[in-house]
Amino acid sequence: MCSIAAASAFALSSCDSKQENARQNAAEQKADNMENKADAVRDNGEKKADAMESQKAMSDDHSTNATLENKADATRDAADQKADAVENSADAARDQSPAPTP
């Protein structure tokens, strides 16, 4: 029974025009690229924060270490917020892609 439903869904989705498929594929690719960018933003933020934290080991001053920790945390937070915004844009792009016609 499931295979019949799957076959029917495939048959119906194959009715999409080439233009519809191209638009949907382009929207999916755009969203995927945006998600990759979000991952890169997070990775870069983490690297910057790690670099700040590595400076703590060089300092015995508690105040300096606390400041570096706060800067590292702020850097991570900012990267996360920016990445979240990019992911939200990717979701919106995916939502606006034309759905397969039944």
Q: How much is the pLDDT for 95? A: 87
- Domain limits at 19? 2-96
Question: How many domains is the chain built from?
Answer: 1
Q: How much is the pLDDT for 13? A: 54
Is there a contact between 49 and 75 (Cβ–Cβ < 8 Å)? Answer: yes
Tell whether 24 is covered by a domain.
Answer: yes
Joined tokens for residue 69 = 């920790």
Tell whether 80 is covered by a domain.
Answer: yes
Separation between Cα atoms, residue 55 and residue 6, nearest integer Å: 57
Tell whether 102 is covered by a domain.
Answer: no
Tell whether 78 is covered by a domain.
Answer: yes
Is there a contact between 78 and 43 (Cβ–Cβ < 8 Å)? Answer: no
Tell whether 101 is covered by a domain.
Answer: no
Q: Is 96 exposed, middle or buried (0-12, 13-18, 19+ CB in 10 A)?
A: exposed
Tell whether 29 is covered by a domain.
Answer: yes
Tell whether 68 is covered by a domain.
Answer: yes
Tell whether 58 is covered by a domain.
Answer: yes
| Confidence class for position 6, pLDDT limits 50, 70, 90 | very low
Q: pLDDT tens digits, residue range 37-86?
A: 999 999 999 999 999 988 877 777 888 889 999 999 999 999 999 999 99
Q: How much is the pLDDT for 1? A: 45
